Amino acid sequence: MSRTNISRCTLSPKKDNNNLYVKVKNRNEALSRQFQINVYVKDTSAKELLPVYVDDQLTHVDTLKPGAEKVYRIDVSSVKEKVIFEIVQKKGGSGIKVSRNSKNPSSVELHIK
């Protein structure tokens, strides 16, 4: 039976930016991580997913090889509130670690453990 691990963090889009960038790194050097990405407005009951892009391709499911990293672009042009960035891992992993880049406030870095 597989264990599902859901990790969430709250992100604040900047007023003058239409995109929010999230870099996800796989810190495991031996195993690939397959996960689902869900991004939605924090205080809504509908939980409509915002578009997530990698290399200008719309995606909500991805796999990172051991030690790999990717940058995901989230279209937040229609959002004024905070958003929830959620990673759902069906197999393995023990969560995420969040760090902000103070030089670029529209960029967030997540590490999959």
Query: For 12-40, what is each residue's pLDDT tens digit?
Result: 887 778 888 888 888 888 888 889 999 99
Q: Which amino acid is at 21?
A: Y
Enumerate domains of the chain plus CATH numbers.
5-112 (2.60.40)
The closest alpha carbon to 49, from 70, 76, 29, belongs to 76
Mean pLDDT confidence for 93-98: 66
User: Could you give the CA distance from residue 80 to residue 85 in angstroms, rounded to a whole number?
Assistant: 15
Task: Look at residue 28 in the predicted model and tell me its pLDDT.
Answer: 84
Task: Look at residue 99 in the predicted model and tell me its pLDDT.
Answer: 66
Residue 75 binned pLDDT confidence (cut-offs 50, 70, 90) = very high
User: Could you give the CA distance from residue 50 to residue 48 in angstroms, rounded to a whole number?
Assistant: 7
Helix (H, G, I), strand (E, B) or coil at 15: coil
Question: Can you give the C-alpha Rg of the chain in angstroms?
Answer: 14
Task: Look at residue 74 in the predicted model and tell me its pLDDT.
Answer: 93
Give the pair of three-digit tokens for residue 24: 């996800």
- Alpha-carbon torsion, ordered 55, 37, 7, 26, to 10 deg: -40
